Structure 1
Amino acid sequence: MGRPRSINRDKVLDIAERIVREEGATALTFDAVAKAAGVTKGGLQYCFGSKDDLVAAMAERWVEGFDAEVARHTPPDATLSQRARGYVTASACIDEATQTKLAGMLVSLLQSPRHLDQARRWYADWLKRLEPGSETERRARAAFFAAEGAFFLRSLGLVEMDQDKWDGVFDDILSLL
Protein backbone atom coordinates (compact mmCIF):
# COMPACT_ATOMS: atom_id res chain seq x y z
CA MET A 1 0.00 0.00 0.00
CA GLY A 2 1.38 3.42 -1.00
CA ARG A 3 1.80 6.39 1.23
CA PRO A 4 -1.20 8.73 1.15
CA ARG A 5 -0.60 11.84 -0.91
CA SER A 6 -0.31 14.93 1.26
CA ILE A 7 -1.63 18.34 0.33
CA ASN A 8 0.81 21.21 0.06
CA ARG A 9 -1.03 23.95 2.01
CA ASP A 10 1.04 26.78 0.56
CA LYS A 11 0.41 25.58 -2.99
CA VAL A 12 -3.33 25.38 -2.28
CA LEU A 13 -3.30 28.86 -0.73
CA ASP A 14 -1.46 30.21 -3.79
CA ILE A 15 -4.13 28.68 -6.03
CA ALA A 16 -6.97 30.03 -3.88
CA GLU A 17 -5.42 33.50 -3.99
CA ARG A 18 -5.08 33.27 -7.78
CA ILE A 19 -8.76 32.35 -8.09
CA VAL A 20 -9.78 35.35 -5.98
CA ARG A 21 -7.46 37.68 -7.89
CA GLU A 22 -8.49 36.50 -11.37
CA GLU A 23 -12.14 35.58 -10.88
CA GLY A 24 -13.26 37.37 -7.71
CA ALA A 25 -14.18 36.22 -4.22
CA THR A 26 -17.43 34.55 -5.33
CA ALA A 27 -15.45 32.13 -7.51
CA LEU A 28 -13.60 30.79 -4.47
CA THR A 29 -15.23 27.42 -3.82
CA PHE A 30 -13.80 24.14 -2.56
CA ASP A 31 -14.67 22.59 -5.93
CA ALA A 32 -12.76 25.27 -7.86
CA VAL A 33 -9.72 25.11 -5.58
CA ALA A 34 -9.65 21.30 -5.50
CA LYS A 35 -9.86 21.10 -9.29
CA ALA A 36 -7.14 23.73 -9.83
CA ALA A 37 -4.88 22.11 -7.20
CA GLY A 38 -5.42 18.58 -8.50
CA VAL A 39 -6.68 17.28 -5.17
CA THR A 40 -9.99 15.89 -4.01
CA LYS A 41 -12.59 18.09 -2.39
CA GLY A 42 -12.50 15.71 0.60
CA GLY A 43 -8.74 16.14 0.89
CA LEU A 44 -9.16 19.89 0.80
CA GLN A 45 -11.83 19.72 3.50
CA TYR A 46 -9.58 17.50 5.62
CA CYS A 47 -6.73 20.00 5.24
CA PHE A 48 -8.72 23.22 5.80
CA GLY A 49 -12.04 22.19 7.34
CA SER A 50 -14.32 24.67 5.61
CA LYS A 51 -14.22 27.44 3.03
CA ASP A 52 -14.29 29.88 5.93
CA ASP A 53 -11.15 28.23 7.33
CA LEU A 54 -9.49 28.36 3.90
CA VAL A 55 -10.16 32.09 3.66
CA ALA A 56 -8.88 32.52 7.22
CA ALA A 57 -5.67 30.68 6.30
CA MET A 58 -5.23 32.96 3.30
CA ALA A 59 -5.68 36.04 5.46
CA GLU A 60 -3.44 34.74 8.22
CA ARG A 61 -0.64 34.04 5.74
CA TRP A 62 -0.98 37.55 4.30
CA VAL A 63 -1.03 39.22 7.74
CA GLU A 64 2.10 37.31 8.80
CA GLY A 65 3.86 38.37 5.59
CA PHE A 66 2.73 41.98 5.97
CA ASP A 67 3.81 42.10 9.62
CA ALA A 68 7.21 40.72 8.59
CA GLU A 69 7.48 43.42 5.92
CA VAL A 70 6.61 46.10 8.50
CA ALA A 71 9.26 44.67 10.84
CA ARG A 72 11.80 44.78 8.00
CA HIS A 73 11.20 48.55 7.72
CA THR A 74 11.10 49.22 11.47
CA PRO A 75 14.06 49.38 13.88
CA PRO A 76 13.79 47.03 16.89
CA ASP A 77 13.59 49.91 19.40
CA ALA A 78 11.32 52.01 17.18
CA THR A 79 9.57 55.15 18.25
CA LEU A 80 5.89 55.51 17.51
CA SER A 81 6.71 57.58 14.43
CA GLN A 82 9.20 54.95 13.20
CA ARG A 83 6.59 52.19 13.65
CA ALA A 84 4.11 54.22 11.61
CA ARG A 85 6.78 54.83 8.96
CA GLY A 86 7.44 51.07 8.78
CA TYR A 87 3.71 50.42 8.38
CA VAL A 88 3.28 53.07 5.67
CA THR A 89 6.40 51.89 3.82
CA ALA A 90 5.19 48.28 3.86
CA SER A 91 1.74 49.42 2.68
CA ALA A 92 3.29 51.36 -0.19
CA CYS A 93 5.00 48.17 -1.41
CA ILE A 94 1.70 46.33 -1.96
CA ASP A 95 1.10 46.01 -5.67
CA GLU A 96 -2.26 46.37 -7.40
CA ALA A 97 -2.72 42.61 -7.98
CA THR A 98 -2.16 41.92 -4.29
CA GLN A 99 -4.59 44.68 -3.36
CA THR A 100 -7.29 43.15 -5.57
CA LYS A 101 -6.73 39.75 -3.97
CA LEU A 102 -6.84 41.22 -0.48
CA ALA A 103 -10.02 43.14 -1.15
CA GLY A 104 -11.73 39.91 -2.23
CA MET A 105 -10.47 38.10 0.85
CA LEU A 106 -11.57 40.91 3.13
CA VAL A 107 -15.06 40.90 1.69
CA SER A 108 -15.27 37.16 2.39
CA LEU A 109 -13.69 37.45 5.82
CA LEU A 110 -15.80 40.28 7.09
CA GLN A 111 -18.97 38.28 6.48
CA SER A 112 -17.95 36.02 9.35
CA PRO A 113 -18.25 37.39 12.91
CA ARG A 114 -15.23 35.32 13.97
CA HIS A 115 -13.04 36.81 11.26
CA LEU A 116 -14.46 40.28 11.71
CA ASP A 117 -13.42 40.11 15.38
CA GLN A 118 -9.97 38.91 14.35
CA ALA A 119 -9.55 41.86 11.95
CA ARG A 120 -10.79 44.25 14.64
CA ARG A 121 -8.24 42.88 17.11
CA TRP A 122 -5.42 43.29 14.56
CA TYR A 123 -6.37 46.92 13.94
CA ALA A 124 -6.88 47.57 17.66
CA ASP A 125 -3.37 46.27 18.30
CA TRP A 126 -1.95 48.65 15.72
CA LEU A 127 -3.91 51.57 17.07
CA LYS A 128 -2.68 50.86 20.62
CA ARG A 129 0.86 51.12 19.29
CA LEU A 130 -0.04 54.46 17.72
CA GLU A 131 -1.72 56.04 20.74
CA PRO A 132 -1.06 59.76 20.31
CA GLY A 133 0.31 61.96 23.03
CA SER A 134 2.26 64.55 21.07
CA GLU A 135 1.97 66.30 17.71
CA THR A 136 4.45 63.83 16.19
CA GLU A 137 2.42 60.90 17.47
CA ARG A 138 -0.83 62.39 16.12
CA ARG A 139 0.83 62.73 12.72
CA ALA A 140 1.93 59.09 12.92
CA ARG A 141 -1.65 58.01 13.61
CA ALA A 142 -2.89 60.19 10.74
CA ALA A 143 -0.32 58.57 8.43
CA PHE A 144 -1.58 55.11 9.46
CA PHE A 145 -5.19 56.06 8.63
CA ALA A 146 -4.13 57.72 5.37
CA ALA A 147 -2.27 54.58 4.27
CA GLU A 148 -5.26 52.39 5.10
CA GLY A 149 -7.62 54.76 3.31
CA ALA A 150 -5.48 54.76 0.17
CA PHE A 151 -5.21 50.98 0.30
CA PHE A 152 -8.97 50.44 0.59
CA LEU A 153 -9.94 53.07 -1.97
CA ARG A 154 -7.64 51.55 -4.58
CA SER A 155 -8.30 47.93 -3.61
CA LEU A 156 -12.06 48.25 -3.79
CA GLY A 157 -11.86 50.02 -7.14
CA LEU A 158 -13.31 53.24 -5.76
CA VAL A 159 -10.44 55.27 -7.21
CA GLU A 160 -8.23 54.49 -10.17
CA MET A 161 -4.60 54.98 -9.40
CA ASP A 162 -1.63 53.88 -11.48
CA GLN A 163 1.68 53.05 -9.85
CA ASP A 164 3.10 56.57 -10.26
CA LYS A 165 0.10 58.13 -8.53
CA TRP A 166 0.25 55.41 -5.84
CA ASP A 167 3.91 56.18 -5.19
CA GLY A 168 3.15 59.90 -5.04
CA VAL A 169 0.34 59.38 -2.51
CA PHE A 170 2.65 57.36 -0.30
CA ASP A 171 5.42 59.95 -0.63
CA ASP A 172 2.87 62.48 0.67
CA ILE A 173 1.85 60.18 3.53
CA LEU A 174 5.47 59.56 4.48
CA SER A 175 6.04 63.33 4.55
CA LEU A 176 3.64 63.45 7.52
CA LEU A 177 6.23 61.50 9.45
Structure 2
Amino acid sequence: MARHKKLDRNALLDAAEILVRERGSHALSLANVAETANVSKGGIQSNFGTRENLINALLERWEGTLQNAVVTISEQAAPSVSELDIQIQASRLAYNQNPDHYKAMMILITQSDELRSRSRDWFRDSLSKVEKNKLTSRNDKLKLLLNEAMIAIHALDLTSLSEQEWKYLLEDLDAKMEN
Protein backbone atom coordinates (compact mmCIF):
# COMPACT_ATOMS: atom_id res chain seq x y z
CA MET A 1 0.00 0.00 0.00
CA ALA A 2 1.46 3.37 -1.06
CA ARG A 3 1.98 6.05 1.56
CA HIS A 4 0.47 9.44 0.89
CA LYS A 5 2.90 12.31 0.90
CA LYS A 6 2.34 14.88 3.61
CA LEU A 7 1.12 18.18 2.22
CA ASP A 8 3.02 21.35 3.04
CA ARG A 9 0.58 23.43 5.08
CA ASN A 10 2.33 26.71 4.16
CA ALA A 11 2.10 25.83 0.47
CA LEU A 12 -1.63 25.25 0.91
CA LEU A 13 -1.99 28.61 2.66
CA ASP A 14 0.00 30.22 -0.16
CA ALA A 15 -2.44 28.70 -2.66
CA ALA A 16 -5.37 30.08 -0.64
CA GLU A 17 -3.78 33.54 -0.69
CA ILE A 18 -3.23 33.36 -4.45
CA LEU A 19 -6.87 32.44 -4.89
CA VAL A 20 -8.04 35.37 -2.75
CA ARG A 21 -5.75 37.86 -4.52
CA GLU A 22 -6.73 36.70 -7.99
CA ARG A 23 -10.43 35.90 -7.55
CA GLY A 24 -11.55 37.45 -4.25
CA SER A 25 -12.57 35.98 -0.94
CA HIS A 26 -15.87 34.68 -2.31
CA ALA A 27 -13.84 32.17 -4.36
CA LEU A 28 -12.11 30.79 -1.27
CA SER A 29 -13.37 27.23 -0.94
CA LEU A 30 -11.63 24.00 -0.09
CA ALA A 31 -12.23 22.75 -3.64
CA ASN A 32 -10.78 25.90 -5.23
CA VAL A 33 -7.74 25.85 -2.94
CA ALA A 34 -7.20 22.19 -3.84
CA GLU A 35 -7.37 23.07 -7.54
CA THR A 36 -4.98 26.02 -7.11
CA ALA A 37 -2.53 23.92 -5.07
CA ASN A 38 -2.92 20.98 -7.48
CA VAL A 39 -3.86 18.59 -4.68
CA SER A 40 -6.99 16.65 -3.80
CA LYS A 41 -9.86 18.28 -1.96
CA GLY A 42 -9.40 15.56 0.67
CA GLY A 43 -5.87 16.82 1.25
CA ILE A 44 -7.18 20.29 1.98
CA GLN A 45 -9.94 18.89 4.20
CA SER A 46 -7.50 16.78 6.18
CA ASN A 47 -5.37 19.87 6.85
CA PHE A 48 -8.10 22.41 7.59
CA GLY A 49 -11.47 20.67 7.81
CA THR A 50 -13.57 23.71 6.95
CA ARG A 51 -13.33 27.00 5.09
CA GLU A 52 -13.53 28.80 8.43
CA ASN A 53 -10.55 26.82 9.75
CA LEU A 54 -8.64 27.67 6.57
CA ILE A 55 -9.35 31.37 7.05
CA ASN A 56 -8.32 31.13 10.71
CA ALA A 57 -5.07 29.45 9.66
CA LEU A 58 -4.41 32.30 7.21
CA LEU A 59 -5.02 34.85 9.95
CA GLU A 60 -2.90 32.98 12.48
CA ARG A 61 -0.03 32.88 9.98
CA TRP A 62 -0.45 36.60 9.32
CA GLU A 63 -0.52 37.38 13.06
CA GLY A 64 2.55 35.17 13.55
CA THR A 65 4.41 37.04 10.82
CA LEU A 66 3.56 40.33 12.48
CA GLN A 67 4.56 39.04 15.92
CA ASN A 68 7.90 37.82 14.53
CA ALA A 69 8.45 41.29 13.09
CA VAL A 70 7.67 42.83 16.50
CA VAL A 71 10.33 40.60 18.07
CA THR A 72 12.86 41.51 15.36
CA ILE A 73 12.22 45.25 15.70
CA SER A 74 12.22 45.04 19.52
CA GLU A 75 15.62 43.34 19.51
CA GLN A 76 17.05 46.09 17.29
CA ALA A 77 15.36 49.09 18.93
CA ALA A 78 16.88 51.43 21.45
CA PRO A 79 15.36 51.18 24.94
CA SER A 80 13.70 54.59 24.48
CA VAL A 81 11.62 53.47 21.47
CA SER A 82 7.94 53.26 22.37
CA GLU A 83 5.91 50.08 22.09
CA LEU A 84 3.71 51.86 19.55
CA ASP A 85 6.68 52.81 17.35
CA ILE A 86 7.86 49.19 17.51
CA GLN A 87 4.38 48.11 16.36
CA ILE A 88 4.44 50.59 13.48
CA GLN A 89 7.90 49.51 12.32
CA ALA A 90 6.93 45.85 12.68
CA SER A 91 3.87 46.38 10.46
CA ARG A 92 6.10 47.91 7.81
CA LEU A 93 8.67 45.11 8.10
CA ALA A 94 6.05 42.37 7.86
CA TYR A 95 4.44 44.08 4.87
CA ASN A 96 7.77 44.59 3.09
CA GLN A 97 8.73 40.95 3.65
CA ASN A 98 5.56 39.68 1.99
CA PRO A 99 3.28 42.27 0.37
CA ASP A 100 1.21 39.60 -1.41
CA HIS A 101 0.39 38.10 1.97
CA TYR A 102 -0.93 41.46 3.16
CA LYS A 103 -2.93 41.99 0.00
CA ALA A 104 -4.76 38.70 0.53
CA MET A 105 -5.43 39.56 4.16
CA MET A 106 -6.77 43.02 3.26
CA ILE A 107 -9.13 41.47 0.71
CA LEU A 108 -10.34 38.90 3.24
CA ILE A 109 -10.85 41.50 5.97
CA THR A 110 -12.86 43.83 3.75
CA GLN A 111 -15.31 41.07 2.87
CA SER A 112 -16.15 39.63 6.29
CA ASP A 113 -17.82 41.13 9.36
CA GLU A 114 -16.08 38.60 11.59
CA LEU A 115 -12.65 39.45 10.22
CA ARG A 116 -13.33 43.18 10.48
CA SER A 117 -14.20 42.54 14.12
CA ARG A 118 -10.83 40.80 14.63
CA SER A 119 -9.14 43.78 12.99
CA ARG A 120 -10.98 46.17 15.30
CA ASP A 121 -9.69 44.11 18.25
CA TRP A 122 -6.14 44.40 16.87
CA PHE A 123 -6.48 48.16 16.49
CA ARG A 124 -7.96 48.47 19.99
CA ASP A 125 -4.99 46.54 21.41
CA SER A 126 -2.50 48.58 19.37
CA LEU A 127 -4.10 51.88 20.34
CA SER A 128 -4.07 50.83 24.00
CA LYS A 129 -0.26 51.10 23.81
CA VAL A 130 -0.61 54.84 23.31
CA GLU A 131 0.33 56.99 26.28
CA LYS A 132 -2.48 58.79 28.05
CA ASN A 133 -1.14 62.36 27.50
CA LYS A 134 -3.91 63.87 25.35
CA LEU A 135 -1.70 65.73 22.86
CA THR A 136 0.83 62.92 22.50
CA SER A 137 -1.96 60.36 22.43
CA ARG A 138 -3.75 62.02 19.51
CA ASN A 139 -0.51 62.29 17.54
CA ASP A 140 0.39 58.65 18.21
CA LYS A 141 -3.09 57.41 17.28
CA LEU A 142 -2.91 59.40 14.05
CA LYS A 143 0.53 57.97 13.27
CA LEU A 144 -0.64 54.38 13.80
CA LEU A 145 -3.82 54.82 11.77
CA LEU A 146 -2.06 56.62 8.91
CA ASN A 147 0.67 53.97 8.84
CA GLU A 148 -1.83 51.12 8.64
CA ALA A 149 -3.95 52.97 6.06
CA MET A 150 -0.88 53.55 3.91
CA ILE A 151 0.05 49.87 4.11
CA ALA A 152 -3.50 48.85 3.12
CA ILE A 153 -3.60 51.33 0.23
CA HIS A 154 -0.25 50.08 -1.02
CA ALA A 155 -1.12 46.40 -0.54
CA LEU A 156 -4.32 46.80 -2.54
CA ASP A 157 -2.56 48.71 -5.35
CA LEU A 158 -4.93 51.65 -4.99
CA THR A 159 -2.38 54.18 -6.24
CA SER A 160 0.30 54.27 -8.89
CA LEU A 161 3.02 55.62 -6.60
CA SER A 162 6.48 54.18 -7.14
CA GLU A 163 8.27 52.25 -4.40
CA GLN A 164 10.58 55.24 -3.93
CA GLU A 165 7.59 57.57 -3.48
CA TRP A 166 6.14 55.21 -0.86
CA LYS A 167 9.45 55.17 0.97
CA TYR A 168 9.56 58.98 0.99
CA LEU A 169 5.96 59.23 2.18
CA LEU A 170 6.62 56.89 5.09
CA GLU A 171 9.72 58.89 5.99
CA ASP A 172 7.64 62.09 5.79
CA LEU A 173 4.99 60.55 8.03
CA ASP A 174 7.63 59.68 10.63
CA ALA A 175 9.21 63.13 10.45
CA LYS A 176 5.90 64.98 10.76
CA MET A 177 4.75 62.85 13.66
CA GLU A 178 7.96 63.47 15.59
CA ASN A 179 7.17 67.20 15.77
| TM-score interval, normalised by the smaller of the two chains | 0.7 to 0.9
Corresponding residue for residue 106 of structure 2 = 103
In structure 2, relative to structure 1, the CA distance for the partners of 1:90 and 1:162 (3 Å cut) is farther
Bigger shift: 160-169 or 69-78? Answer: 69-78
Cα distance in structure 2, aligned partners of 1:30 and 1:124:
32
Task: Summarize deviations over 1:44-76 as a string: whole Å, max 9, x none.
Answer: 123212222212211210111012112311258
In the TM superposition, what is the alpha-carbon distance from 1:117 to its structure 2 partner? 3.4
Q: Kindly indicate whether the alpha-carbon contact (under 8 Å) linking 1:25 and 1:104 is maintained by their aligned counterparts in 2.
A: yes
Cα distance in structure 1, aligned partners of 2:88 and 2:173:
8
What does residue range 11-26 of structure 1 map to in structure 2 within 5 Å?
11-26=11-26
Q: Which is bigger in relative contact order (C-alpha 8 A, separation at least 6)? A: 1
Q: Kindly indicate whether the alpha-carbon contact (under 8 Å) linking 1:20 and 1:101 is maintained by their aligned counterparts in 2.
A: yes
In the TM superposition, what is the alpha-carbon distance from 1:174 to its structure 2 partner? 1.8
- Percent identity over the alignment is 25
SS of the equivalent of 1:130 reads coil
1:129 equivalenced with 2:132 (yes/no): no
Instruction: State the number of aligned residues.
Output: 173
Cα distance in structure 2, aligned partners of 1:98 and 1:165:
21
Aligned-residue RMSD, C-alpha: 2.7
Task: Summarize deviations over 1:89-135 as a string: whole Å, max 9, x none.
Answer: 23334245344223222234x34x3x343322222211111243264
Corresponding residue for residue 33 of structure 2 = 33
In structure 2, relative to structure 1, the CA distance for the partners of 1:173 and 1:132 (3 Å cut) is farther
Corresponding residue for residue 163 of structure 2 = 163
In the TM superposition, what is the alpha-carbon distance from 1:86 to its structure 2 partner? 2.0
Task: Summarize deviations over 1:14-53 as a string: whole Å, max 9, x none.
Answer: 1212222344333332222112323221231232122222
Corresponding residue for residue 58 of structure 1 = 58
AA at the equivalent of 1:104: I
TM-score by length of 1: 0.79
TM-score by length of 2: 0.78
Unaligned 5+ residue runs, structure 1? Answer: none
Q: Kindly indicate whether the alpha-carbon contact (under 8 Å) linking 1:7 and 1:43 is maintained by their aligned counterparts in 2.
A: yes
Q: Kindly indicate whether the alpha-carbon contact (under 8 Å) linking 2:73 and 2:89 is maintained by their aligned counterparts in 1.
A: yes
